[in-house]
Amino acid sequence: MIRINRPDFPEVPDIPAPSLWTIGPDGWCTNARPVPSPNYNGRPDPADIALLVIHNISLPQGQFANGNIENLFLNRLDCDCHASFDSLRDLKVSSHFLIARDGQLIQFVSTLERAWHAGISSFDGRSGCNDFSIGIELEGCDDLPFETVQYETLGALTQCLLARFPIQHIAGHNEIAPGRKTDPGPFFDWQHFTQSLSGLA
């Protein structure tokens, strides 16, 4: 069973709903637009992929479809173009996936490699969640609802990841870095997401 990290939610069957999406032998999703980031390295144990982490991101906060997220993950962000970017200077981060507001799926790092999305983190007694997790960013923020099409893409992607990897838990960034992170935020609809994976939506 796959455990959504919320005590009031049901477990998800090991065999998810059918998905036409696939993860290739190189760890890249066939349905994603590949934008390779230099910000990754090898996992300590390539077979140890047990956690899926859901994030939100927007640069600046609440502003979308401006290319800034891709530029951040590619180390190309112009940190002089907005005051809030000053803290991002010299930051090297990435995520495996980004789901844009229009539902487009972009992949930055092979799922077989370690993306740098979790930072200082721990889950289920284990520290360093980048080692054993896959990170999915939703273009959004804590103050606005996500788009229906983003949930559709997230559901299809999650199903193909569950079919490929021994993922046992799905958690928000706030749950692996409590007090430091708040995403995916109060507007992320965990109930809808869980029901879609259980075939109930």
d(CA 166, CA 161): 9
Contact 146, 187 (CB under 8 A): yes
Class of domain 3-197: alpha beta
Rg of the Cα atoms in the chain: 16
pLDDT single digits (tens) 135-181: 999 999 999 999 999 999 999 999 999 999 999 999 999 999 999 99
Q: What average pLDDT does the structure give for the chain?
A: 91
pLDDT at 41 over 90: yes
Contact 97, 157 (CB under 8 A): yes
Q: Which of 68, 84, 64 is closest to 76 using CA atoms? A: 68
Q: Give the residue numbers marked as catalytic.
A: 137
Q: pTM of the full predicted structure?
A: 0.91
Band of pLDDT at residue 26, cut at 50, 70 and 90: very high
SS (H, E, C) the chain: CEEECCCCCCCECCCCCCCCCCECCCCCECCCEECCCCCEEECCCCCCCCEEEEEEECCCCCCCCCCHHHHHHCCCCCCCCCHHHHHHCCCCCCCCEEECCCCCEEECCCCCEEECCCCCCEECCEECHHHHEEEEEEECCCCCCCCHHHHHHHHHHHHHHHHHCCCCEEEEHHHHCCCCCCCCCCCCCHHHHHHHHCCCC
Domain residue extents for the chain: 3-197
pLDDT of residue 20: 76
Band of pLDDT at residue 197, cut at 50, 70 and 90: confident
pLDDT at 200 over 80: no
